[in-house]
Amino acid sequence: MSKGKFIVFEGIDGSGKTTQINKLCEYLESKGRKVYVTSEPTISMTGGILRDALSGVSKRTSCEMAAMFVLDRIFHNVNHKWGIEKMLNEGYDVLCDRYYYSSLAYQGSETDYEWVKRMNLDCPEIRTPDACIFLDLTPEESLERISKGRATTEIYETKEKLTAVRNTFLNVFEELKENPNEHIYIISAFGDVETVAKRISAAMDEIV
Ligand code: TYD
């Protein structure tokens, strides 16, 4: 049995990650592949603490957040029930909603970027994805989509914040391009669902 591919989706809030993950899942399954969809923060205990902090229920420092995301991510990779390694070894393609690129962009813009980067990229138990798809959208369009689709907004969803995070994401990818292990696809999220889905499946045909 051949090992599956590990594909990460990133994007600022409102960029349509969830919809497009489901579309890619359908596409890969239609090609006869087995697919496992997952996300970060995970369903672990640390993931629960992170979600409370993200929604404002509890307050955490940027360093606490960065460290907890690393802990959650290690567990996400190695746990024997639903871990990424286990699923890849069983031949599943793993599609993950957010990964360490989010830590570099969000926590990296709030605290020491190099520290956040090293914790994630140098950790032997945090796998490098086979592909990272960044769904790129302007903050204006993103906020419009968010306000249509949701009743509440999270702490990261102000225009200034979205602009800063998008720029940080783009800087992160620019810098990571130097690393031959990183395979980053910046894909325009403008247009209807099917149009964006086609852009993604065409890019992924190259690796699966
Ligand atoms: P969530 O509502 O679960 O998903 P999404 O916004 O992708 O639909 O929110 C996840 C939040 O977690 C999002 O605001 C970004 C944040 N986050 C980080 O700050 N650092 C990280 O490493 C990860 C994985 C997520």
Is the confidence at residue 170, as pLDDT, over 60?
Answer: yes
Tens-digit pLDDT profile for residues 19-47? 999 999 999 999 999 999 999 999 999 99
Residue 180 preceded by cis peptide, ω within 30: no
Q: What is the pLDDT of residue 152?
A: 63
Q: Contact at 8 Å (CB) between 139 and 159?
A: yes
Cβ atoms within 10 Å of 105's Cβ, excluding its own: 26
Q: Which of 104-113, 116-125, 145-154 has the highest mean pLDDT?
A: 116-125
| Assigned fold of 6-204 | Rossmann fold (3.40.50)
195/134 Cα distance (integer angstroms): 15
- In the chain, the amino acid numbered 58 is S
Give the Cα separation of 6 and 3 in Å (integer).
9
Give nearest CA residue, ligand 1 atom 19: 106
Predicted pLDDT at 195:
98
What's the pTM? 0.94
Note the pLDDT of residue 156: 58
The token duo for 101 is 């690129």
- The overall average pLDDT reported for the chain is 94
Nearest CA to ligand 1 atom 5: 13
Give the residue, by CA position, lying nearest to ligand 1 atom 22.
Answer: 103
Q: pLDDT for 157-166, tens place per residue?
A: 688 888 988 9
- Closest-CA residue, ligand 1 atom 23, reads 102
| Residue of 52 and 109 predicted with greater confidence | 52
Above pLDDT 90, what percent of the chain? 85
Residue 99 CA, closest ligand 1 atom number: 24
Q: Cite the beta strand spans of the chain per DSSP E.
A: 6-10, 34-39, 92-97, 131-136, 184-188
Ligand 1 pocket, CB under 6 A: 13, 17, 40, 54, 69, 97-98, 102-103, 106-107, 154, 156
- What share of residues in the chain are helix, strand, coil (percent, to 5)? 50, 15, 35
Which of 52, 102, 137, 142 gets mutated to test ligand 1 (max ligand atoms within 8 A of its CB)?
Answer: 102
Q: Give the whole-angstrom CA distance, residue 114 versus residue 135.
A: 24
pLDDT in tens, 96-106: 999 999 999 99
State which of 96, 106, 123 you would mutate to test the pocket of ligand 1, scoring each by most atoms of that ligand within 8 A of its C-beta: 106
What pLDDT sits at residue 204?
A: 98
pLDDT of residue 130: 98
Cα–Cα distances (Å) from 170 to 156, 189, 190, in that order, read: 17, 14, 17
| 18 CA: nearest ligand 1 atom | 8
Q: Which pLDDT belongs to residue 151?
A: 60
Question: Where are the chain's structural domains?
Answer: 6-204
